[in-house]
């Protein structure tokens, strides 16, 4: 096995993505609350593919083709679509073998902004070790792209970036200061990410929507050992 | 004295500034290595005013008016200007009473992007307690605007933001997740900011330019108890 190190960088917001070279890179898209956690959950329960769409119009178009659709804006299910953005709605046999089109406030926007990358994969705490193993096998430069909240960096995506760095350990070289920043956040959380995440303004906003169970679920590690990746316009595993 | 709390938020990069409401706010511009540290130093040694300019052309225009000029690009003094971006070049009687025009890679760009704010003040470790006292007196919503490095968040500006939050203590309410992120970074540095800053890629780049003494100088707290603020096009104290 080739043991050379490779670089890892972290982009804290999709608004900053144009500053990063994506060509030649593996981009790990992260939207812990909740787009990428939901995607991983859906694959864990047998969905065949997910087509991420940046706009609701595109998502509606796929609905006219007879596809299952999911859409969320500002934390709530958008009207007229089959599913929203709670991982619990995907834990059902109903989705098995189906093709889903999905549009979310932040996560699918981050995917749309990363299309110049060589590989796009979906990361969440729910599949973090599988993502680490995938990156260690590929050994290409990595950019962890946080979906953030409407462009503003958030705690939970930054925490995930720090945790993935930690798990990659000595196999990688940190490319930029955001690596120190994310890693410090992880260290300050210690064994209690949930408390740190609960303190954040972003999560206070989400809690008003009654999704505390979702938050707890999305912070669990390694529930689904799989890595969704973009193939053409579709995520598959 | 009015003891109501006020909000503080942190913008980690000038590229993200358009996402923030600046009207009604005090913006604290931070470019620890080295623009805002240099500005504070210059006022500490008697400069009368500093006119920040985003472009070198504008800076050259002020030179034709007979003003003293300072310009830096990519960490080095730009050709044809009187001064560069090392705080040590400003520790001289020569600058006393003079008006200076200054353009830097990141710091003066951040000022140019913040002009919609109600107040713009210059923050550095060198004047951090004076900035805190100024904000506590004003009691208006604050945005700490990190100059970053060509749009990418850096450790030293984020550390300063965390340190200023810490010093503002219970008088302020944290508005967004970047407050937790910056505060964690500060905590992870403990009593040894210098070591953390030395580990960063950004500083490794600067060290190649032989400015290690500058870095050590710029991380010192409260050398100059003064707060430069923008009045029209000029910074004054």
What integer is the mean pLDDT of B74-97?
A: 91
> Rounded to a whole number, what is the distance in Å from the CA of A182 to chain B's nearest CA?
8
Q: What's the DSSP call for residue A147?
A: -
> Rounded to a whole number, what is the distance in Å from the CA of A205 to chain B's nearest CA?
11
Q: Is the pTM of the predicted complex or chain greater than 0.90?
A: yes
**Residues forming beta bridges with residue A11, ordered by sequence position:** A145
**Residues forming beta bridges with residue A70, ordered by sequence position:** A83, A102
Q: Which of B19, B150, B199 is the closest to A180 by Cβ? A: B199
- How confident is the model at residue A3, as a pLDDT? 65
Domain assignment present for residue B1? The answer is no
Sheet hosting strand B142-146, strand order edge to edge: B76-77, B68-73, B99-103, B49-52, B234-236, B229-231, B119-123, B26-30, B142-146, B6-11, B172-174
A184, A188, A200, best to mutate vs chain B, most B CBs in 10 Å: A184
Q: Where are the alpha helices (DSSP H) in chain B?
A: 35-44, 56-64, 107-112, 128-138, 155-168, 177-189, 193-198, 201-207, 212-218
B188 touches chain A (CB under 8 A): yes
Domain assignment present for residue A217? The answer is yes
Domain assignment present for residue A64? The answer is yes
In A74-166, DSSP assigns E strands to: 76-77, 99-103, 119-123, 142-146
Q: Is B234 helix (H, G, I), strand (E, B) or coil?
A: strand
Reported as type and span, the H/E element at residue B235 is: strand B234-236
Contact A110, A124 (CB under 8 A): no
Sign of CA dihedral B98, B99, B101, B107: positive
- How confident is the model at residue A1, as a pLDDT? 40
Domain assignment present for residue A38? The answer is yes
Give the total number of structural domains in chain B. 1
CB contact under 8 A, B19 and A199: no
Written as tens digits, the pLDDT of chain A (237 aa) is 446 899 999 999 999 999 999 999 999 999 999 999 999 999 999 999 999 998 899 999 999 999 999 998 887 888 889 998 899 999 999 999 999 999 988 888 889 999 999 999 999 999 999 999 999 999 999 999 999 998 999 999 999 999 999 999 999 999 999 999 999 999 998 888 888 888 887 777 777 777 888 999 999 999 999 999 999 999 999
Q: What does pLDDT average to over chain B?
A: 92
Query: What DSSP assignment string belongs to A68-82?
Result: EEEEEETTEEPTT-S
CB contact under 8 A, A180 and B202: no
Contact A161, A144 (CB under 8 A): yes
- How confident is the model at residue B104, as a pLDDT? 87
CATH number where B39 lies: 3.90.1560.10
- How confident is the model at residue B98, as a pLDDT? 95
Q: Is A4 helix (H, G, I), strand (E, B) or coil?
A: coil
Kindly report, residue by residue over B130-142, the tens digit of the pLDDT: 999 999 999 999 9
Q: What is the ipTM of this complex?
A: 0.92
Domain assignment present for residue A61? The answer is yes
Reported as type and span, the H/E element at residue A177 is: helix A177-189
Indicate whether B197 pLDDT > 90: no
Instruction: Kindly list the residues from chain B whose CB atom is less than 8 angstroms away from the CB atom of residue A174.
Output: 201
Instruction: Kindly list the residues from chain A whose CB atom is less than 8 angstroms away from the CB atom of residue B15.
Output: 15-16, 19
Cα dihedral B82, B85, B89, B90, rounded to 10, equals 90
CB contact under 8 A, B158 and A181: yes
Indicate whether B145 pLDDT > 90: yes
- How confident is the model at residue B3, as a pLDDT? 65
Range of the domain at A173: 6-236
| Geometric angle at alpha carbon B29, from B157 and B63, rounded to 5° | 115
B152 touches chain A (CB under 8 A): yes
Domain assignment present for residue A1? The answer is no
A141 touches chain B (CB under 8 A): no
- How confident is the model at residue B1, as a pLDDT? 40
């Amino acid at each position: 096995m080739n043991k050379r190190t490779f670089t890892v960088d972290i982009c804290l917001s999709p608004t900053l993505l144009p500053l990063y070279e994506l060509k030649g890179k593996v981009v790990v898209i992260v939207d812990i609350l909740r787009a990428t956690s939901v995607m991983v959950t859906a694959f864990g329960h047998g969905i065949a593919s997910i087509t991420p769409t940046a706009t609701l119009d595109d998502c509606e178009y796929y609905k006219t083709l007879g596809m299952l659709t999911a859409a969320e804006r500002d934390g709530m299910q958008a009207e007229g679509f089959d599913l929203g953005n709670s991982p619990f709605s995907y834990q059902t046999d109903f989705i098995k073998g189906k093709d889903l089109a999905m549009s979310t406030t932040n996560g699918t926007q981050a995917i749309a902004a990363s299309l110049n990358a060589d590989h796009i994969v979906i990361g969440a705490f729910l599949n973090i070790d599988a993502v680490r193993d995938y990156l260690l096998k590929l050994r290409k430069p990595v950019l962890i792209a946080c979906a953030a909240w409407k462009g503003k960096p958030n705690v939970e995506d930054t925490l995930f970036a720090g945790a993935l760095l930690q798990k990659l350990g000595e196999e990688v070289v940190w490319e930029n200061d955001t690596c120190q920043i994310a890693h410090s956040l992880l260290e300050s959380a210690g064994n209690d990410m949930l408390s740190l995440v609960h303190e954040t303004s972003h999560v206070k906003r989400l809690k008003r929507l009654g999704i505390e169970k979702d938050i707890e679920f999305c912070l669990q590690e390694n529930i689904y050992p799989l890595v969704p990746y973009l193939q053409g316009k579709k995520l598959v595993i």
